[in-house]
A and B are shown apart, each in its own frame.
Chain A
Amino acid sequence: MSAAAAPRAGGRIWLLGLACGIGAALAPATLALAGILLAPAMLAWLADPRPGKTGARPVILAGAAGAATPLLSLWSQGHHLAMAMALAADTRTLALAWSVQGGAWLAVEALPHLIRLLLDGAAGTEAMALRRSRATLEAAWGIPRRDASAEAGDAG
Chain B
Amino acid sequence: MHPGDPASENRIAGIYEVDFGHPLEGVAPGQRAFAVIDHGESRGHHMAAEVAPHLPARSGELLKFQAGAIPGVLCPLAHGRAADRNGRTGFYVVMPVPPGPALLAPGVGAFPPWPEADILHQVLRPAALALDGLRARGITHRAIRPENLFRAAAGEPVVLGGAWAAPPALFQGAIFEPPYAAMCTRAGCGNGSPADDVYALGVTMLVLALGHAPMAGLPGAAVIQAKLERGSFAALVGDERLPPVIQDIVRGMLAEDPEHRPTPALLADIEVARGRRVAARPPRRAQKALEIAGHAAWTARTLAFALAREPAAGVPALRNGMVDRWIRRNLGDSALAARLDETLHLRASPADAATQRDDATLVMRAVAVLDPFAPLCWNAVAVWPDAIGTALAAMEEPDPAGAAAPLGDMVEMIGDEAVAVWAAARADRADPTSARLDANQYRALLRQKGWGGGLPRLRYTLNQLLPCRSPLLRDAAVVRLADLLPALEGLAIAGRGFDGLDPEIAAFIAARGDHGGEADLLLLGDPRRADQHAIATLRLLAGVQSRTQAPAAPALAGWLGTRLAPAFAVFESRDRRRQREAALAELAASGRLGALLALIDDPEGIATDRREHGAASARVAAIDHRLDRLQAAASSRAALAGRLGQEAVAAAAAMGLVYAVMAALLA
Residues of A within 8 A of B (CB): 54-55, 57-59, 61-62, 64-66, 68-69, 72-73, 100, 104, 107-108, 110-116, 119-120, 123, 126-127, 130-131, 133-134, 137-143, 146, 150, 153-154, 156
Residues A61 and B657 in contact, CB atoms below 8 Å apart: yes
Bound: A150/B631 CA distance, A: 9
Q: Which 5 A-B pairs rank lowest in CB-CB distance, beginning with the nearest?
A: A111-B645, A112-B645, A116-B641, A61-B653, A65-B656
> Does B69 sit at the interface, judged by CB under 8 A?
no
B279 within 8 A of A: no
Give the Cβ gap from B177 to chain A, nearest Cβ, in Å.
71
| A65-B627 contact in complex given A58-B646, A119-B641, A156-B634, C-beta closer than 8 Å | no
Q: Which residues of A lie under 8 Å from residue B650 when comparing CB positions?
A: 57-58, 61
B644 sits at the interface (CB 8 A): yes
Q: Is the CB of A104 within 8 A of B649?
A: yes
Q: A57-B650, A156-B634 are in contact. Are A72 and B645 (CB under 8 A)?
A: no
* Given A123-B634, A143-B616, 20 more pairs with CB closer than 8 A: A57-B646, A58-B652, A58-B653, A61-B650, A61-B656, A61-B657, A62-B653, A64-B657, A113-B641, A115-B644, A116-B638, A123-B633, A130-B627, A131-B623, A133-B619, A133-B623, A134-B620, A137-B623, A141-B616, A156-B631
A123, B637: Cα distance in complex, Å: 9
B562 in the interface (beta carbon within 8 A): no
Q: Is the CB of A72 within 8 A of B649?
A: no
Asked if A54 meets B646 with Cβ closer than 8 Å, knowing A73-B664, A113-B641, the reply is: yes
User: When the two chains form the complex, which single residue of A59, A100, A123 contacts B630, counting CB atoms closer than 8 Å?
Assistant: A123
For the complex, what is the distance from the CA of A154 to the CA of B631, rounded to whole Å? 6
A29 to B475, CA, bound (A): 127
CA distance A62 to B597 in the complex (A): 81
| Cβ–Cβ contact A130 & B656, under 8 A | no
Complex contacts, B619 vs chain A, CB 8 Å: 133, 137
CA distance A130 to B623 in the complex (A): 6
Q: How long is the Cα–Cα vector from A64 to B658 in the complex, in angstroms? A: 10
**Set of chain A residues within 8 Å of B644, measured between Cβ atoms:** 111-112, 115
Interface segment, one of B104-112, B385-393, B492-500, B569-577: B569-577
B617 and A143 contacting across the interface, CB-CB below 8 Å: yes
Selected A-B contacts with CB under 8 Å, 21 pairs: A57-B650, A58-B650, A61-B656, A65-B656, A66-B656, A111-B645, A111-B649, A113-B645, A114-B645, A116-B637, A116-B638, A126-B630, A127-B627, A130-B630, A133-B619, A134-B623, A134-B624, A137-B623, A146-B624, A153-B631, A154-B627
**Chain B: minimal CB distance from A103 (Å):** 9
In chain B, what residue has the closest Cβ to A134?
B623
Whole-angstrom distance between the alpha carbons of A113 and B641 in the complex?
7
A115 to B649, CA, bound (A): 12
Query: In this assembly, does B519 line the interface, its C-beta being within 8 Å of a C-beta of chain A?
Result: no
Does A140 contact B573, Cβ atoms closer than 8 Å?
A: yes
How many angstroms from the CA of A73 to the CA of B665 in the assembled complex?
10
Q: Could you tell me the distance in whole angstroms from the C-beta of B578 to the nearest C-beta in chain A?
A: 11
User: How many Å lie between the Cα of A113 and that of B659 in the bound state?
Assistant: 28
Question: Could you tell me if B657 and A65 are in contact, using CB atoms closer than 8 angstroms?
Answer: yes
- The residues of B that contact A141 with a CB separation of less than 8 Å are 572-574, 613, 616-617
Return A97 CB to nearest CB of chain B, in Å: 10
B648: interface (CB < 8 Å): yes
Q: Which among A68, A114, A115, A140 is the interface contact of B657 at CB below 8 angstroms? A: A68
Q: Which residues of B contact A61 (CB under 8 A)?
A: 650, 653-654, 656-657
- In the complex, are the beta carbons of A108 and B649 less than 8 A apart? yes
The residues of B that contact A153 with a CB separation of less than 8 Å are 627-628, 631
Chain B residue with the shortest CB-CB distance to A113: B641
Q: Are A130 and B626 in contact (CB under 8 A)?
A: yes
Q: Which residues of B contact A62 (CB under 8 A)?
A: 649, 652-653, 656-657
Is the CB of B403 closer than 8 A to any CB of chain A?
no
How far, in whole Å, are A30 and B646 apart by their CA atoms in the complex? 28
Beta-carbon nearest neighbor of B650 in chain A? A58
The CA of A65 and the CA of B574, in the complex, are separated in Å by 67
Asked whether any CB of chain A lies closer than 8 Å to the CB of B661, the reply is yes
Whose C-beta in chain A lies nearest to the C-beta of B641? A116
Instruction: Tell yes or no: B660 within 8 A of A by CB.
Output: yes
Report A130 CB to chain B, min CB distance, Å: 5
Distance, CA A55 to CA B645, complexed state (A): 9
Which of chain B's residues 252-275 have a Cβ closer than 8 Å to chain A?
none
Contact of A72 with B653 at beta-carbon distance under 8 Å, contacts A108-B645, A130-B623, A140-B616 already known: no
Query: How far apart are the CA atoms of A90 and B193 in the complex, in Å?
Result: 145
Contact with A along B339-383 (1 / 0, CB 8 A): 000000000000000000000000000000000000000000000
Contact B665 A72, beta carbon cutoff 8 Å = yes
Contact in complex: A58, B649 (CB < 8 Å): yes
**B640 contacts the other chain (Cβ, under 8 Å)?**
yes
| Residues of chain B with a CB closer than 8 A to A137's CB | 616, 619-620, 623
Q: Is the CB of B631 within 8 A of A120?
A: no
Q: How far is the CA of A113 from the CA of B644 in the complex (A)?
A: 10
The reply on B566 being an interface residue by CB < 8 A is no
Which residues of the other chain, B, contact A113 by a CB distance below 8 angstroms? 641, 645
* Interface membership of chain B positions 2-16, coded 1 if the CB is closer than 8 angstroms to chain A and 0 otherwise: 000000000000000
Q: Is the CB of A107 within 8 A of B657?
A: no
Choose one: A72, A107, A115, A154; the contact of B664 (CB below 8 Å).
A72
> How many angstroms between the C-alpha atoms of A143 and B638 in the bound complex?
34
Residues of B within 8 A of A119 (CB): 637, 640-641
Whether A65 and B630, one on each chain, are in contact in the complex, defined by CB atoms closer than 8 angstroms, is no
Docked pose: A68 CA to B656 CA in angstroms: 10
* Residue from A64, A115, A120, A139 within 8 A of B645 (CB atoms): A115
Distance, CA A68 to CA B638, complexed state (A): 34
Alpha-carbon separation in the docked complex, A153 to B633 (Å): 11
Tell me if B516 counts as interface (CB < 8 A to partner A). Answer: no
Specify which chain B residues have a CB less than 8 angstroms from the CB of A154 in the assembled complex.
627, 630-631
Q: Tell me whether A107 and B649 are in contact (CB under 8 A).
A: yes
Give chain A nearest CB distance to B497 CB in angstroms.
36
**Contact present for B627 and A131 (CB under 8 Å):** yes
Using Cβ atoms and an 8 Å threshold, which residues of chain A touch B646?
Answer: 54-55, 57-58, 108, 111-112
Report the Cα distance A44→B641, complex, angstroms: 20
A100 to B655: give the CA distance in the assembly, Å.
Answer: 13
Give the residues in chain A near B640, CB-CB below 8 Å. 115, 119
- Interchain CA distance A59-B649 in the complex, whole Å: 8
> Do B627 and A150 touch across chains, with their CB atoms under 8 A apart?
yes
